Amino acid sequence: MPVNHKSDTSIFGIVGMQTDDTLMLGTPAFSLLEEKKIQKAEFRSKPKSVLTPEIQLDFNGCTLTIDASKPILNLRQKGQGGKIKLVDVRAPDRAQQYTEQRARGAYIASTCQPEASFDLSVAAQAQQLSDEDIKALNKRLKWQIEPRSWPPLHHCQSHGG
């Protein structure tokens, strides 16, 4: 939302929109101004919730929490991560498994594992599914399933949910 208040340095905000959810990081002054503009425009919107160490938020199928002792946001999948399974190369329904698991992996990549996006985009291009295509997808899915240490300012766990 463009805000033109150069003289008021207390107004700062960043807004991210995802389908039917909006996530905002901003000063109280920005939040108040944004609320006034929404009311003036007569937009319908959900009531705001504020993330605190005591209050977690649901956002785009994830749970967002903040750690009181360190500057870390935690974004946890609510269940898609627990549904990822490796594709059985020998299964008669391997094409169906491939499509389902690639979609699950891509969803998680779009929300909190952008480094997986390229491999999953390549997987979506497979026309005549080969054993090598399945092995490549399984390699990326395995990476998505396994827990790991994340950079300190971004934490996302897709495993288990």
Q: Answer yes or no: are the C-beta atoms of 87 and 138 closer than 8 Å.
A: yes
**pLDDT at residue 71, rounded to an integer:** 80
Cα-based torsion angle of the residue sequence 11, 37, 49, 158 in order, rounded to the nearest 10 degrees = -80
Tell me: the pLDDT tens digits for 22-72? 888 889 999 999 899 989 999 888 888 889 999 998 877 788 899 888 888
Please report which confidence band the pLDDT of residue 157 belongs to, taking 50, 70 and 90 as the band edges. Answer: very low
Please report which confidence band the pLDDT of residue 153 belongs to, taking 50, 70 and 90 as the band edges. Answer: very low
For the record, the structure tokens of 97 come out as 């498994």
Average the pLDDT over 2-15 and give the result. Answer: 71
Please report which confidence band the pLDDT of residue 147 belongs to, taking 50, 70 and 90 as the band edges. Answer: low
Say how many CA atoms lie within 13 Å of 158 toward its Cβ.
23
CA angle in degrees (0–180, nearest 5) for 48-52-53: 155
Tell me: the pLDDT tens digits for 40-52? 999 888 888 889 9
What are the extents of the domains in the chain? 1-48, 76-157
